[in-house]
Amino acid sequence: MTGIASAQDVAPSVAGDQAEAALDEVVVTGSRFGGRTATQSTTPVDAISREALQQSGRVDLLQMMKVQVPSFNTPRPLGSGVGDYLTPPSLRGLGPGEVLVLLNGKRRHTSADLNASNGVGRGDISVDFNALPSFALSRAEVLRDGASAQYGSDAISGVINLILDGSVGSRAQATTGVTSEGDGAFWETSVSSGFEIGDGGVLRLTASLQEHEGTDRSRPDTRQQYFGTGANGLPTAISGNYGSGVGLTPSNGRLDPREATIDRRVFRFGDQPNTNRQVFYNLMLPTPGLELYSFGGYNRLDGDIEYFFRRAGQDETLRAVYPDGYRPLLDTRMENISVAIGARGEDLIGFGWDLSSVFGRNTQDLYYDNSVNVSLGTESPSRFHRLASDFDQWTTNLDLTREIAIGSGAPVELALGVEYRQESYGLQSGDLDGFRSGGVAILDGPNAGRPAPIGAQPGPSAGPDDTASLDRHSHALYGEVQKAFGDRLLLQAALRHERYSDFGDTTNYKIAGRLELFGGLAGRASWNTGFRAPALAQSGYNASNTLILNGQQAIVRVAAVDSPAARLVGATDLKPETSRNLSAGLVFDRGGLTATIDAYRIAVEDRIAISSTFQDPRLTAFLAANGQGNFSAISYITNAVDTTTEGVDLVIAYRRAFADGGRVTGTLAGNYTQTEFDRIAGTPAPLAALGIATPLFDLTQQLRFSDSLPGDKITLDLDYVRGPLGISLTNTRYGAVSTVALTNRTPAQIAVLTPGYDVRSVPVGAAGNADLIQTFGAEWLTDLEVSWELTPAVRLSLGAQNLFDVYPDENIASTVATVAAGSNGADNAGTQPYNAISPFGFSGRSMFVRVGLTF
């Protein structure tokens, strides 16, 4: 077939030497003119087989890719709502919305969730990788280069193309594991079968069930839990200081006797439990003159996300219901459904052709459980509908290719295409009882009679004014041309014009080439422009969330850009991001050694993010005076900054066969990335008029872009096979990450807080106070898998992830000395020793056993 190469056309057989196949893999991402090996591509592409992805017992696709791709990273969010499951991926140091995800070369729909958490990926959206069973894949291809001119919006940092298996035959596997601490148990069962249909047709069906228990690395909460008793015999407010409930530091009033008996392990701090069900199909049906194809699937993930504990003496606790405090839950249901249908043939007026239409939908339904609206008093429910959201995407493409003979050399390869895409986003309100004020005052304690906190805990449900219903469409016309000049030079160019119904027109181009030099050495380079249209959720999301700000819980309103509250504090209409991307590198391929090194520079203007969190009594009064109250802080989506990201990717692979039949493959991969700011927007004018100096994008937000993902990463992967024995050893070094740990601390507090930690201070004000930036050092993690082929149909594997039980550096600790100086540490008063920006989490070692069957 002379048309656009299909994923199935080049899918490798499951049989054979997987390690060797990976080095010679034919890739289809990054060009519309059929497959080339990764080293022959004009731009860097990683090809990773399903077997390589699933090494060391992994079942989470994002965690698999993080180990295999040098410039791919994900944090392990905590307490971020649905974001705990939608771990935001990053390629080449940019955000989750700046990498495009394809399935069988077709655009994949994103999630309906806006990440409104207090961590990496804040203000962005991402594809829900939970929907995609790794067992259904043939391989994954990662294009590490801008590709908006080829694939459209979002492909600023690169493209992830997940390719479904289209082979005949059946396989199954079952995996179970647990951490060294005895928690975090997981189970996975998957089966995949490919059947012949007609003359050369294939239908492959895959089903997978995954269940994860949560992990917990919290420490006892030593703060005062219950009201104290003052000298006058009346109740006193509780202290929020470390040790105030166990006599280490002063309490407020005389301690309640229950302080001595309460179980202080009240927090859940770690991975959240969930159950994920996945079903996928892949159909190819050749007919005379053309091939029909279809693929798609469905998944549902159910999880219970546990929020911060509300102590008995907090105003957020209704003591008549929860006398000893409580921990609210977010009952989460996420669903994805997708279907693609298409046909391709060899001759449409001399062109190879591919006509396809792809529909995808993500829905999220969220409920608070074990909760309360204190302002409703004892009539309050304990379960509230938080909100529901949905995102639909329907994309139709017609792609044409042909070869045009010019002279005696290689023909010019030409590709043309058109695309039409429709998108819609909906945000539905939750239960009124989770939003409204019931008018009941605080019932007891020192604040009895005062107004009670309004709304469900941990934050109000979406109210009647929080709904959104947005849609848009876009048209694109694109072309690509490629020509080889002899055996040494390959040139490629692409041009794409796109019109959005809400953001206007954009035209982007790409020029790339590869030149064979000598002795197996070649050079390659590309220059391209890119764009990213704001996601509909970034325009329409409007909800309140509870975050920890300077050690205190606060209800933060993330206001839609066109909402009255956002306009009052300076929000303006969003603009698309635009980028300029330069990449250049060398490729060496000779004998058993393959090596690539690629340097890149990505300049992005008008990057989209959530603004600083604006919190000030003057702002609260200003908003309330203009009819916008019931929250203590506000943020909104904005084009806050311009950035330049520079870096280098290195991949070296070596393979060797021994006389005894053994084979070894070694891969060394590394990445270095650094992001700098070219522009940071100043304080919005309405806030400056109130005397508030907080910039639109403050230090905390800046570090999320520049320092909260590893600036460097190294992976050394060794695979040995001899007869039925297979050994895989992977060592991954994650570089240092940094975040704002504490703000506005005095010199005396800094002197007590910082010894023993890697901290730098940023002065604020004129009194010597400073914000503290903590850096968490680089760490090596080792994964080991040993497998044995019991029979030709049965393989047993066992091993460990994080074999040596490595944990990240701890947060700045709360101690008796820090409390005496007037400050807790950055560990939530001693309960949370690790930071959620850790690039490898903090669950420690886990062991696994897996049985694989082929039949």
Distance CA 310, CA 314 (A): 7
Pairing mode, if any, of strands 99-103 and 158-164? Answer: parallel
Rounded to the nearest 10°, the torsion over CA 655, 659, 661, 665 is -10
Number of H helices, E strands in the chain: 11, 38
Q: Which amino acid is at 137?
A: L
* Cβ contacts of 736 within 8 Å, gap of 6 or more: 710, 711, 758, 775, 776, 777, 778
Q: Of 671, 692, 672, nearest to 683 (Cα)?
A: 692
The answer to whether residue 250 sits within a structural domain is no
Q: Is 590 exposed, middle or buried (0-12, 13-18, 19+ CB in 10 A)?
A: exposed
Distance CA 673, CA 648 (A): 7
Q: For 389, what's the count of Cα atoms within 13 Å in the CB-facing half-sphere?
A: 27
Q: Of 599, 607, 567, nearest to 583 (Cα)?
A: 599
The answer to whether residue 259 sits within a structural domain is no
| Alpha carbon 366 to its chain's center | 19
Sign for the CA dihedral angle at 133, 139, 145, 146 comes to negative
- CATH code for position 49: 2.40.170.20
pLDDT at residue 3, rounded to an integer: 36
Is the pLDDT at 42 greater than 80, yes or no?
yes
* Cβ contacts of 659 within 8 Å, gap of 6 or more: none
State the DSSP code for 506: E
What is the rounded average pLDDT for all residues in the chain?
Answer: 90
What average pLDDT does the segment 672-677 reach?
Answer: 96
**pLDDT tier, 11 (very low <50, low <70, confident <90, very high otherwise):** very low
Total domains in the fold of the chain: 1
Q: Of 576, 776, 744, 598, nearest to 671 (Cα)?
A: 598
**pLDDT tier, 409 (very low <50, low <70, confident <90, very high otherwise):** confident
Identify the H or E element spanning 689.
helix 685-689
Helical ranges in 275-427 per DSSP H:
none
List, for residues 648-660, the tens digit of each pLDDT value. 999 999 999 999 8
List, for residues 720-767, the tens digit of each pLDDT value. 999 999 999 999 999 999 999 999 999 999 999 999 999 999 999 778
Task: Give strand ranges (E) for 533-592.
Answer: 543-549, 552-559, 577-590
Distance CA 611, CA 560 (A): 12
Is the pLDDT at 20 greater than 60, yes or no?
no
Sign for the CA dihedral angle at 178, 179, 185, 189 comes to negative
Find tokens 């995808």 and name the residue.
360
**pLDDT tier, 66 (very low <50, low <70, confident <90, very high otherwise):** confident
DSSP-assigned states of every residue in 717-731: EEEEEETTEEEEEEE
What average pLDDT does the segment 708-719 reach?
Answer: 93
Q: CB–CB of 155/146 below 8 Å?
A: yes
Task: Give strand ranges (E) for 307-447.
Answer: 329-348, 351-369, 384-404, 412-428
Distance CA 239, CA 593 (A): 63
Find tokens 């694939």 and name the residue.
151
List, for residues 74-105, the tens digit of each pLDDT value. 876 665 667 778 877 889 999 999 999 999 99
Is the pLDDT at 402 greater than 70, yes or no?
yes
Cross-strand partners of 419: 397, 476
pLDDT at residue 12, rounded to an integer: 33
Find tokens 């509780």 and name the residue.
238
pLDDT at residue 546, rounded to an integer: 59
Q: Of 566, 554, 558, 564, nearest to 541 (Cα)?
A: 558
**pLDDT tier, 185 (very low <50, low <70, confident <90, very high otherwise):** very high
pLDDT at residue 542, rounded to an integer: 85
List, for residues 478-508, the tens digit of each pLDDT value. 999 999 998 899 999 999 999 999 999 999 9
List, for residues 794-824, the tens digit of each pLDDT value. 999 999 999 999 999 999 999 999 999 999 9
Q: Of 103, 67, 66, nearest to 87 (Cα)?
A: 66
pLDDT at residue 831, rounded to an integer: 96
Is the pLDDT at 16 greater than 70, yes or no?
no
* Cβ contacts of 835 within 8 Å, gap of 6 or more: 739, 774, 776, 808, 811, 826
Three-state secondary structure string covering 68-85: HCCCEECCCCCCCHHHHC
The answer to whether residue 215 sits within a structural domain is yes
- What percent of the chain clears pLDDT 90, i.e. is strictly above it? 73
The answer to whether residue 251 sits within a structural domain is no
Is the pLDDT at 400 greater than 50, yes or no?
yes
The answer to whether residue 112 sits within a structural domain is yes
* Cβ contacts of 360 within 8 Å, gap of 6 or more: 108, 109, 336, 337, 338, 392, 393, 394
List, for residues 503-544, the tens digit of each pLDDT value. 999 999 999 999 999 989 999 999 999 999 999 999 998 877
Tokens matching residue 825: 């540490």
The answer to whether residue 420 sits within a structural domain is yes
**407 or 577: whose pLDDT is higher?**
577
For residue 511, the enclosing domain spans 8-221+265-331+347-854
Is the pLDDT at 31 greater than 80, yes or no?
no
SS3 155: coil
Q: For 88, what's the count of Cα atoms within 13 Å in the CB-facing half-sphere?
A: 33
Is the pLDDT at 62 greater than 80, yes or no?
no
List, for residues 306-346, the tens digit of each pLDDT value. 989 999 999 999 999 999 999 999 999 999 999 999 999 99
The answer to whether residue 231 sits within a structural domain is no
Q: Flag the least confident range among 92-106, 135-149, 219-233, 628-642.
A: 628-642
- What percent of the chain clears pLDDT 70, i.e. is strictly above it? 94
SS3 432: helix
The answer to whether residue 727 sits within a structural domain is yes
Is the pLDDT at 366 greater than 60, yes or no?
yes
Is the pLDDT at 7 greater than 50, yes or no?
no
Is the pLDDT at 555 greater than 90, yes or no?
no
Distance CA 545, CA 531 (A): 30
What average pLDDT does the segment 172-177 reach?
Answer: 96
Query: Cα-flanking dihedrals φ and ψ of residue 621, to 5°?
Result: -65, -40
Is the pLDDT at 2 greater than 80, yes or no?
no
pTM of the entire predicted model: 0.91
List, for residues 233-285, the tens digit of each pLDDT value. 999 999 999 999 999 999 999 999 999 999 999 998 898 999 999 999 999 99
Query: Cα-flanking dihedrals φ and ψ of residue 83, to 5°?
Result: -60, -20
